[in-house]
Structures are given as C-alpha cells and as structure tokens.
C-alpha cells in the first residue's frame, strides 16, 4: 500500500470525520464477521494505485495505430484483442472499442452511475462521475468538449455512448499527424486518458517532451 498520506486524510485521534469513523466501523465489523480480509483490501488499493491505470489503454491504442490487423481485431472484439496482448489482468467480457474518424467523434458517459472501462483506464476521474458531466454529455457534448478546451469542426458527427448496461466502451482516438515511423511505446505517450473517453484528442508530437 502506498504509504504517503494526503494532507486532508486525518487518520488520527479526534480528527476522524464521521465518514472515516463509519468506514472504519464497516471494515472492522465485516472483518470480525469473517467476510473480508483487510490484507486483501490493502492489495486491492495498491493495485489501483500502482498497476491499473490509463497506460494499459494507451498501449492498446498505440498498437492499433501501428498494426492494422490488431486494429481490425480490436474493433471486432475488444475483449479478445486486449486479452491477446497479455500485459494486464484479464478484461471483463464486454469491452467495445469505437473509432474516431475525421467524420465522427465518440464520447463515453454513464448518466445513471459511473460505468467506466476500469480494466483499461483505471479508476474514473471525479469529473467523469460528477453531475455536470453525467447530465450534459448526452445533451450538449460540444459544450462539455468546450470545458475541456476541445473544439471540433461544426459538421463532425458526435456520437455519445451512454453505458447503461455492462458493456464498456473505449474510444480509439485518431493518430496525430507527424508520428510516422514512431514506436508503439513512443506513440502510447500521446494517448491520454481523456482521449480514450472522448473528452480529449490524442496529443500532438509538439505537446510531449
């Protein structure tokens, strides 16, 4: 478990908040009842802090940019294609990759809760789970993109995927110009989390060091 404390995480004495007390009570009771093992909780937290993040998705996208066969497989069955890479824990059964083109831009949302492709992107950011995003993405996605500083041509089709079941979506962003001959590893640095949600575009070569 990462041992750094956030400054607002007062885990001592009288500074424990009501929420912290209730969470602690839950963990103690569920442990004493024999349902959970605190060491397993430590391992889960550690995995989310250190292993499961958007880099997993970036590597998938970079491979799709350089390998037409893989791209085809990814768009046909993302679960299978990602599993074939074997670099991460197995993906759940229901991953779908959707491709951005000059004609069409895709954006992912969950208006009802917080469904998100955790296995390839890690934990969803707070904004993804927030009311402003969940309420507006399906009605005013250009306004949302504006909040992210992204402007698309007026005639680009915008397709919003509301994750209302257990299907999870990942956007395959467009490969930036000026990256011909780049290695997968270098390309992966251009693939931001937001570009795989659809609230951003892949970075241009000039935007990375």
Restricting to residues 140-199, name those near other proteins by CB under 8 A. Answer: 140-142, 144, 147-148, 154-167, 194, 199
How far apart CA 102 and CA 118 sit, in angstroms, is 27
The answer to whether 76 contacts other proteins (rule: CB under 8 A) is: no
The answer to whether 102 contacts other proteins (rule: CB under 8 A) is: no
Instruction: Check if 89 is active-site.
Output: no
Query: Can you state the angle between helices 55-66 and 78-85, rounded to 10 degrees?
Result: 100
Question: How many binding residues for other proteins (CB under 8 A)?
Answer: 86
Least distance between other proteins and beta carbon 188 (Å): 18
The answer to whether 36 contacts other proteins (rule: CB under 8 A) is: yes
Binding flags for other proteins, 119-138, as an x/- string (CB under 8 A): x--xx-xxx-xxxxxxxxxx
Instruction: Check if 58 is active-site.
Output: no
Q: Which one of residues 67, 101, 113, 185 is an interface residue with other proteins (CB under 8 A)?
A: 113
Neighbours of 5 (CB within 10 A): 10
Instruction: With CA atoms as reference, report the closest residue to 55 among 208, 195, 207.
Output: 195
Least distance between other proteins and beta carbon 178 (Å): 26
**Which H, E and C letters describe 30-89, residue by residue?**
HHHCCCCCHHHHHHHHHHHHHCCCCHHHHHHHHHHHHCHHHHHHHHHCHHHHHHHHCCCC
The answer to whether 39 contacts other proteins (rule: CB under 8 A) is: yes
* Cα Rg of the chain (Å, integer): 20
Q: Which one of residues 76, 101, 112, 185 is an interface residue with other proteins (CB under 8 A)?
A: 112
The answer to whether 56 contacts other proteins (rule: CB under 8 A) is: no
Least distance between other proteins and beta carbon 138 (Å): 5
**Alpha-carbon torsion, ordered 138, 166, 127, 48, to 10 deg:** -160
How far apart CA 115 and CA 13 sit, in angstroms, is 36
Instruction: Check if 113 is active-site.
Output: yes
The answer to whether 35 contacts other proteins (rule: CB under 8 A) is: yes
The smaller minimum CB distance to other proteins, of residues 159 and 184, is found at 159
Residues that are catalytic: 110, 113-115
């Amino acid at each position: 478990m990462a041992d750094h404390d956030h400054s607002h995480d007062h885990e001592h004495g009288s500074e424990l908040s009501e929420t912290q007390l209730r969470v602690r009570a839950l963990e103690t009771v569920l442990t004493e009842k024999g349902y959970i093992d605190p060491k397993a909780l430590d391992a889960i937290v550690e995995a989310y802090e250190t292993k499961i993040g958007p880099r997993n998705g970036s590597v998938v996208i970079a491979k799709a940019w350089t390998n037409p066969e893989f791209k085809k497989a990814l768009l046909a069955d993302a679960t299978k294609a990602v599993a074939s890479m074997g670099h991460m824990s197995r993906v759940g059964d229901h991953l779908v990759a959707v491709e951005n083109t000059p004609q069409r831009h895709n954006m992912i949302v969950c208006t009802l809760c917080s469904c998100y492709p955790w296995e390839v992107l890690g934990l969803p950011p707070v904004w993804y789970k927030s009311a402003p995003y969940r309420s507006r993405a399906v009605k005013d996605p250009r306004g949302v993109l504006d909040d992210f500083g992204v402007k698309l041509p007026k005639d680009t089709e915008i397709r919003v995927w509301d994750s209302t079941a257990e299907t999870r979506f990942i956007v395959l962003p467009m490969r930036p110009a000026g990256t011909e001959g780049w290695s997968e590893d270098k390309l992966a640095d251009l693939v931001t989390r937001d570009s795989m949600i659809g609230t951003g575009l892949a970075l241009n070569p000039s935007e990375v060091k």
